[in-house]
């Protein structure tokens, strides 16, 4: 959030006296204006709304396979996402705004998930939890579909299954993303700005650039 | 498990009842298998059920590619009183993959037979509701056969995610 | 979008309803209700097509396949060692059992002995997994019935069990701890102490769960007398596990056909009388105590020795040997690149999982990859018993029965 706040006077006594005067109604004119200015936070409406949205996800109760058990663990007491306000799992997609795809998406289930995602109202976000829906995971075969193929996903959480702490980290990353300060990731931690991958010009599938063709990693 | 001699006695008894019913016997690592003629599978299983093997522990299919006949249906029978297991194998070819359904003898065979139909294409005649159970209803192909490719999707990276549907939403 | 709905309708129409024509008149009309696959009460992605007459269920048809992963097909492409993580993800609450069934089948084919210490360690982890599976069942079933706080208590215990798993193998779920020939690693030094604390704690906690639910008026009224199926129907449907034991039949593979030193331990088999939902609940709850007993006896009698078979053609040699012995290096290389070869044959290895008989069929053709792996999953066969259980009951009883049936869709769909 953008804050514009004047530096408060560091002397605690001065602040105390000013607050006392304010309560008594003794502050007037310029003093009063300065007092109020020091305590007001100004921001844009979008940012305020984004802050509120990010702090109040309503996840959908959507468990597919093994990752669902770890998703149940984040509601349980050890890793408690009620700390962040996300414990209100809604059963109906009309009332939820965050779908956590926990588990492997089979070819029979993909249209069902798409329909559920369409039923959710905007703004909505999706977390792809686990390796199976993010990439193909342990099973790269005829019956699984990666989630990116049929719906947009905001955060991918790797792991098989990801620890509940990892999923909580993913949800918090989504919160940062929604609130407008998407984290830069590891580059910030290791001070590696400038190493971003720039996609080369031209057709990315031509053999000069990549020898991988669609379908190459099948059966890996 | 009946031992090797016990298995041969069963086979002999069943052959006495009907000469064509048992094609072969196999005994490997303490596992007794009667290879039955797929046309006569119901009388064989009924006879074994009469001998005490009243429970069907498992019904599954195997693809013996490249040995013909390719598709095998295995019945794992269990005798709960004497804690004894015996397997019955029936092999059918892909050209004529039909075999009688044993749902009347063992009601618990309904779902497993549907699975063998779904995965291998073996048609069970007399099954009350033979449709695909694991794959979508209109799927073509029988995935578990050896000549069906494992398939797979390319992992979506930045360079190849342009064509995927979810990208532009 | 309309073609999508058209296809969908066509597919639904292909299902025949057995109760469709019965009793159709102007006053009686049967309603078809589609429950799932996304539904808070269906324990995974189970789709039920219920034919209702008012509130009474006349027929229910389960439709599965929504989490079909092609595990058996994937397993044919991988060497035996690498099949273990793939097969573990089938019944995702009983991962040690999946690995145990597969490894047992391969060990039968290879005809190798598992050392006694490995057998005891396997038993300890299997029983811990059984406790964990029953805890998740109890938590989620109580959640379905409306007793929401049970969920937190059960998952608190589950975290303790998962801490133990993390200590012994490094992973909370899908640990691939059970390997062909034994277990992956010996237990670390703090494991025994922590396990003893857990053994002391668990019966008290199980008493608390019983106190919460078993005499609760609502739980008793919802569970007692609902979903009754007699023993003959269950036996005909090849149902095993707590569902069969609730009807009074003490069939348990740990006692009937002991594997992996289960005959060294003294434990009882809880058996029900009537076969209704309340009996199923009590049977599973009582199994918690018996599993704790088994773990305690196994821990007390844990023998010394190797934790995996010393046959170097099957199991990796210990790391320190690689520096000194040439044969160890060659064995390590062969095992990691190609894997061990299994002589041709077929084996079916059944074990007692938390839901019933979990069996693994392996066909080997002499190469380093299995030619066919089939897991006989208990939930798949147990699901056939759902229709007789809920017939002529209320739809609220359908939810309770489904909770007591304990289906795990990963196992059903494989």
Render C246-263 in DSSP notation, one character per residue: HTT----HHHHS--TTGG
Cα dihedral B45, B51, B52, B58, rounded to 10, equals -20
CA distances from A214 to A43, B150, C323 (A): 46, 15, 43
Picking from A158, A179, A160, A180, the residue whose alpha carbon sits closest to that of residue A169 is: A158
Pick from B60, B67, B1, B63: nearest CA to B33:
B1
Q: Which chains touch A (3 or more CB pairs under 8 A)?
A: B, C
Nearest to B159 among A135, A141, A199 (CB): A199
Tokens 């060990």 sit on residue: C107
| Distance (Å, whole) CA B121 – CA B137 | 13
**Residues C92, A66: C-beta atoms closer than 8 Å:** yes
Closest-approach residue (CA) in chain B for C9: B137
Please check whether residue C404 is in contact with residue C142, taking contact to mean a CB–CB distance below 8 angstroms: no
**3-class secondary structure, C206:** helix
Chain A: nearest CA to C368, how far in angstroms?
17
What is the C-alpha separation between B18 and B21, in angstroms, rounded? Answer: 6
Which residues from A are below 8 Å from B164, CB to CB? 148-149
Identity of the residue in C44, C73, C159 whose CB atom sits nearest the CB atom of A63:
C44
Which residues of C, range 77-96, sit inside 8 Å of B by Cβ?
77
**Chain B residues with beta carbon closer than 8 angstroms to that of C411:** none
Query: Encoding tokens for residue A213?
Result: 């063709």
**C-alpha–C-alpha distance, residues C214 and C247, integer Å:** 18
> What does the DSSP assignment read for B68-135?
SS-EEEEEEEEETTTTEEEEEEEEE-SSS-EEE--TTT-GGGHHHHHHHHHHH--EEET-TT---SSS
pLDDT at A215 over 70: no
Q: State how far the Cα of C269 lies from the Cα of C248, in Å rounded to an integer.
A: 11
Cβ-based interface (< 8 Å): residues of A facing C: 61-66, 68-70, 72-73, 75-78, 91, 93, 103-104, 106-109, 111-112, 116, 132, 138-144, 160-161, 163, 219
Please say if the pLDDT value at position B130 is more than 60.
Answer: yes
Count of other CB atoms within 10 angstroms of residue B26: 14
Q: What's the predicted TM-score (pTM) here? A: 0.87
* Average pLDDT estimate for C37-51: 85
Place of tokens 């490997």: B28
Rg (chain B; Cα; Å): 20
Q: What is the average pLDDT value for chain A, to the nearest integer?
A: 81
Cβ-defined contact of A106 to C69 (cutoff 8 Å):
yes
Examine the predicted complex and report whether its ipTM is higher than 0.85: yes
φ/ψ (deg, to 5) at C107? -65, -35
Q: What is the pLDDT of residues C297-309, one digit of tens each?
A: 999 999 999 888 8
How many pairs of residues across A and C have Cβ atoms under 8 Å apart?
102
The SS3 of residue A133 is helix
Say if residue B168's pLDDT is above 50. Answer: no
pLDDT at B29: 84
pLDDT at C119: 93
Cβ contact A141–B150 (<8 Å): yes
Query: B152–A140: do the CB atoms touch at under 8 Å?
Result: yes
Q: Report the alpha-carbon distance of residue C267 to residue C298 in Å, rounded.
A: 12
Angstrom distance (rounded) from CA A194 to CA A9: 40
Check CB contact under 8 Å for A216 and B164.
Answer: no
Instruction: Tell me the percentage of chain A whose pLDDT exceeds 70.
Output: 83
pLDDT band at C1 (very low <50, low <70, confident <90, very high): very low
Looking up tokens 């020795």 gives: C305
Cβ neighbours around C33 below 10 Å, total? 13
Q: Provide the pLDDT for residue C239.
A: 92
Look at residue B84 and tell me whether its pLDDT is greater than 50. yes
Report d(CA C378, CA A50) in Å as an integer: 48
Q: What is the pLDDT of residue A151?
A: 85
**pLDDT higher for A215 or C53?**
C53
Closest chain B residue to the Cα of C252, Cα to Cα: B80
Decide if C63 touches A, using CB distance below 8 A.
Answer: no
Of A136, A151, A197, the CB nearest to B155: A136
- C211-217 long-range Cβ contacts below 8 angstroms, 24+ apart: C212/C147, C212/C149, C212/C150, C212/C153, C213/C142, C213/C147, C213/C150, C213/C281, C214/C281, C214/C282, C214/C285, C216/C147
List the single best residue of A99, A139, A159, A164 to mutate versus C (max C Cβ within 10 A).
A139
* Residue A14 DSSP symbol: H
User: How does pLDDT run across C144-168, given as a tens digit for each residue?
Assistant: 888 889 999 999 999 999 999 999 9
Could you report the per-residue pLDDT of C361-400, keeping only the tens digit for each?
999 988 889 999 999 999 999 999 998 999 888 988 999 9
The per-residue pLDDT for range A72-87, each reduced to its tens digit, is: 899 888 988 889 988 8
Residues of B in Cβ contact (< 8 Å) with C346:
28, 31, 33, 62, 87
| Cβ <8 Å between A66 and C174 | yes
Structure tokens, C140: 């989620």
Judging contacts by C-beta atoms under 8 Å, the chain B residues touching residue A145 are 153
C163-207 pLDDT, tens digit per residue, is: 999 999 999 999 989 999 999 989 999 999 999 999 999 999 999
Q: In 3D, which of C391, C392, C390, C385 has the Cα closest to residue C407?
A: C385
Two structure tokens written together for B51: 């001998």
What's the pLDDT score for residue A212? 55
| Contact map slice: C 87-146 vs A, CB within 8 A | 89, 92-93, 136, 140
CA distance A18 to chain B (A): 54
Question: Mean pLDDT, to the nearest integer, of C224-241?
Answer: 89
- What residues have CB less than 8 Å from A8, skipping those under 6 apart? A15, A38
**Among the ranges given (A28-37, C100-109, C313-322), the one the predictor scored with the smallest mean pLDDT:** A28-37
Return d(Cα B134, Cα B153) in angstroms, integer.
Answer: 19
Give chain A's radius of gyration (CA, Å): 24
Separation of alpha carbons C20 and C28, rounded Å: 11
Of C65, C77, C172, Cβ closest to residue A219? C77
Q: Kindly state whether B52 is in contact with chain C, defined as any CB-CB distance less than 8 angstroms.
A: no
Task: Return the ∠ at Cα C79 (arms to C78 and C85), rounded to 5°.
Answer: 70
Kindly tell me the sign of the dihedral angle through the C-alpha atoms of A77, A81, A82, A88.
negative
Average of per-residue pLDDT across B108-124:
91
pLDDT of residue A88: 86
Question: In the beta sheet, which residues pair with residue C132?
Answer: none
A220 pLDDT more than 50: no
CB-based contact, B112 to chain C, within 8 Å: yes
Mean of the per-residue pLDDT values of chain C: 88
pLDDT at B161: 62
């Amino acid at each position: 959030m953008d804050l514009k706040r004047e530096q408060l006077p560091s002397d605690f006594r001065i602040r105390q006296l000013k607050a006392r005067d304010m309560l008594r109604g003794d502050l007037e004119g310029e003093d009063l204006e300065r007092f109020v200015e020091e305590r007001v936070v100004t921001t844009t409406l979008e940012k305020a709304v984004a802050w509120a949205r990010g702090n109040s996800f309503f996840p959908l109760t959507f468990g597919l396979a093994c990752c669902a058990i770890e998703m149940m663990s984040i509601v349980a007491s050890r890793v408690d996402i009620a700390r962040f306000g996300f414990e209100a799992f809604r059963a109906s997609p009309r009332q939820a705004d965050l779908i956590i795809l926990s588990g492997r998406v089979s070819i029979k289930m993909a249209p069902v998930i798409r329909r559920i995602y369409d039923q959710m109202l905007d703004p909505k976000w999706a977390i792809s939890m686990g390796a199976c829906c993010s990439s193909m995971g342990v099973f790269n075969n005829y019956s699984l579909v990666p989630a990116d193929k049929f719906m947009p996903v905001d955060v991918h959480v790797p792991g098989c299954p990801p620890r509940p702490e990892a999923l909580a980290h993913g949800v918090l990353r989504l919160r940062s993303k929604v609130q407008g300060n998407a984290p830069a990731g590891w580059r910030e931690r290791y001070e590696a700005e400038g190493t971003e991958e720039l996609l080369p010009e031209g057709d990315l599938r031509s053999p000069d650039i990549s020898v991988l063709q669609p379908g190459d990693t099948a059966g890996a | 498990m009946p031992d090797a001699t016990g298995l041969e006695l069963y086979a002999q008894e069943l052959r006495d009842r009907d000469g064509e019913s048992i094609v072969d016997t196999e005994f490997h690592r303490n596992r007794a298998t009667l290879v039955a003629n797929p046309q006569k599978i119901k009388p064989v299983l009924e006879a074994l059920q009469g001998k005490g093997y009243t429970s069907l522990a498992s019904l599954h299919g195997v693809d013996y590619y490249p040995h013909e006949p390719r598709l095998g249906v295995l019945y794992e029978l269990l005798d709960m009183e004497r804690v004894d297991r015996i397997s019955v194998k029936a092999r059918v070819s892909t050209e004529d993959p039909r075999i009688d359904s044993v749902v009347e003898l063992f009601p618990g065979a309904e779902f497993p037979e549907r699975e063998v139909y779904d995965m291998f294409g073996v048609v069970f005649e007399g099954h009350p509701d033979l449709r695909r159970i694991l794959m979508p209803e209109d799927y073509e192909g029988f995935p578990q056969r050896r000549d069906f490719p494992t398939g797979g999707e390319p992992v979506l990276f930045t360079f190849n995610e342009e064509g995927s549907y979810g990208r532009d939403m | 979008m309309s073609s999508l709905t058209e296809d969908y309708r066509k597919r639904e129409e292909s299902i025949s309803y057995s109760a469709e024509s019965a009793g159709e008149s102007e006053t009686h009309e049967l309603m078809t209700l589609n429950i799932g696959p996304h539904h808070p009460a269906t324990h995974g992605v189970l789709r039920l097509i219920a034919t209702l007459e008012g509130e009474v269920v006349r027929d229910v048809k389960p439709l599965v396949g929504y989490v079909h992963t092609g595990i058996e097909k994937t397993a044919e492409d991988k060497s035996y060692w690498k099949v273990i993580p793939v097969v573990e993800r089938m019944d995702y609450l009983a991962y040690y059992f999946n690995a145990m069934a597969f490894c047992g089948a391969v060990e039968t084919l290879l005809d190798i002995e598992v050392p006694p210490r490995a057998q005891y360690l396997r038993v300890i982890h299997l029983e811990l997994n059984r406790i964990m599976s029953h805890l998740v069942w109890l938590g989620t079933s109580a959640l379905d019935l409306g007793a929401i706080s049970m969920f937190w208590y059960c998952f608190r215990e589950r975290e303790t069990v998962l801490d133990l798993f993390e200590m012994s193998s490094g992973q909370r779920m899908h640990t691939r701890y059970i390997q062909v020939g034994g277990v992956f690693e010996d237990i670390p030094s703090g494991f025994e102490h922590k396990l003893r604390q857990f053994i002391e704690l668990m019966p008290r906690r199980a008493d608390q769960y019983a106190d919460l639910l078993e005499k609760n008026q609502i739980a008793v009224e919802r569970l007692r007398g609902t979903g009754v199926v007699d023993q003959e129907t269950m036996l005909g449907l090849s149902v095993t596990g707590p569902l069969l034991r609730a009807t009074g039949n003490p069939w348990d593979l740990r006692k009937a056909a002991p594997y992996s030193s289960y005959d060294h331990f003294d434990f009882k088999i809880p058996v029900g009388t009537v076969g209704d939902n309340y009996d199923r609940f009590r049977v599973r709850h009582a199994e918690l105590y018996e599993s704790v007993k088994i773990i305690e006896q196994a821990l007390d009698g844990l023998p010394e020795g190797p934790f995996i078979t010393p046959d170097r053609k099957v199991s990796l040699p210990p790391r320190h040997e690689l520096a000194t012995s040439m044969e160890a290096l060659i064995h390590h290389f062969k095992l990691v690149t190609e894997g061990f070869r299994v002589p041709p044959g077929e084996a079916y290895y059944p074990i007692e999982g938390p839901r019933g008989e979990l069996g693994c069929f392996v066909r080997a053709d002499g190469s380093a990859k299995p030619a066919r792996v089939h897991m006989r999953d208990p939930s798949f066969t147990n699901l056939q018993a759902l229709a007789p259980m809920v017939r002529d009951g209320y739809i609220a009883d359908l939810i309770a029965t489904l909770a007591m049936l304990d289906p795990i869709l990963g196992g059903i769909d494989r």
